[in-house]
Homo-oligomer: A and B are copies of this chain.
């Protein structure tokens, strides 16, 4: 017998992984959570039937959601991570000795429990002393916070289900207020290739650009997400991810990374023309 997991990237395109074993399936108050052991991608965490992370390529996602901001501002001390229950974003953050405090706000305790049990590759640093895990709604958590964080990372699912509120103008305004003067917001910002993802990206980019003086988008290749061509948003009050980027400062930290490097940092902001045009139109 062959077991395959199939994800609908659109109604008309599907991606399938051959499965060794279906390790876990559970329903929380918010969503369906599954863990698969696959032949090509190692352990795979899915939420509501969509791949969140795989052991084979999670390093791409977590390098790019973390190090671009950390290399733009080497003085980041206090970080808020919203979502990211698998722990991979926090794992990368804890590699920076100068970070003093990390609040991680994940709405769904089941995602954290399951990741700790089945995917220690990403969840291994959730018990770092500096990490404060809150099982709570990130949208509410960030309300009424003022200048508390140097970096907010929105490590969210797609804008459906519990992730939807993390793509709204109100939420982005609260993030702006919660950030210090040199604060940076990095958000999971969908993909330009399939129509539905591109529309979501254009909407969130438009909203962010009306709140933050600096609002850019950068790309990465993650083969297990639909199309493989994905984007993060970089929004900030003052710091520019290229103009204020000092590669030598990040390099002096001596961190080894499998995807991120300081050349790629700059290259990731060089978008294909059709993506550039989407973003320019979103900002109007």
Contacts and interface: CB of A to CB of B under 8 A. Distances in A.
Contacts of A11: 18, 39
What copy number does this chain have within its complex?
A: 2
A9 to B, nearest CB: 8
Interface residues of A, number: 42
B270 A263 contact: yes
A41 B14 CA distance: 12
Contacts of A6: 16
A272 interface: yes
A268 interface: yes
A245 interface: no
Interface in A124-161: none
Contact of A16 (B14, B40, B270, B274): B14
A60 B269 CA distance: 17
Interface string A49-80: 00000000100100000000000000000000
Nearest to A277: B258
A228 B13 CA distance: 14
